[in-house]
Amino acid sequence: MNTKAFQILIIVPLSLLLVSCASNLQGDTYSREDARQVQTVQYGTVEDVRFVVIEGTKTPIGSAAGAVVGGIAGSSIGDGKGAAVAAVIGAVAGGLAGSAAEEAITQSQGVELVIRMNNSNKIISLVQQHDPARPFHIGDRVRLMTVNGETRVSQ
């Protein structure tokens, strides 16, 4: 098998694995554990809306994938000890780049909602992933659903 084909066989699956690690933080996404669980429901009114950035994930997967790709790319440079040194340098650089790429790929646009609760007049703030199809506006009456310690806001 030639080097290019081998590199493609390694890079493509690792890239797909990295992208599949992104989680969904929108208000309409539930984990399997949350399904069929009783939720606490409260109502409130949106007092303020602000767009924020939700950091991407930082798992070992991005670093490992980058290290493998960098090591393979580095090993194709030179022969003998030069190829071994290039493979190590490529693996380190690839690991750093893979970690940064994972965080950037899994980063998402969020929305911070400041909500005045109807039953207590208490003011709370909650961040969740922004859904352009369902934007929040000041004055919106919203529903807060809490299950297993996670709260979601919907209209």
Residues 6 or more apart whose CB falls under 8 angstroms from that of 36 comprise none
Q: What pairing do the DSSP bridges indicate for beta strands 123-129 and 108-117?
A: antiparallel
Tokens for 82? 């030069």
pLDDT digits over 68-111, tens only? 877 787 777 777 777 777 777 778 878 777 776 776 677 788 99
Neighbouring CB atoms inside 10 A of 45's CB total: 14
Nearest alpha carbon to residue 90 among 66, 68, 74, 69? 74
Q: Which of 32-41, 42-51, 116-125 has the lowest mean pLDDT?
A: 32-41
Give the C-alpha separation, 124 to 45, whole Å: 10
How many Å is the maximal CA-CA distance in the chain? 73
Domain positions in the chain are: 1-23+56-106, 31-55+107-155
Query: From 2.60.120, 2.40.50, 2.30.30, 1.20.1530, which CATH number describes the 31-55+107-155 domain?
Result: 2.40.50
Which pLDDT belongs to residue 8?
A: 52
| pTM score | 0.57
pLDDT of 4 > 70? The answer is no
Q: What HEC string does 77-99 produce?
A: CCCCHHHHHHHHHHHHHHHHHHH
Residues 6 or more apart whose CB falls under 8 angstroms from that of 12 comprise none
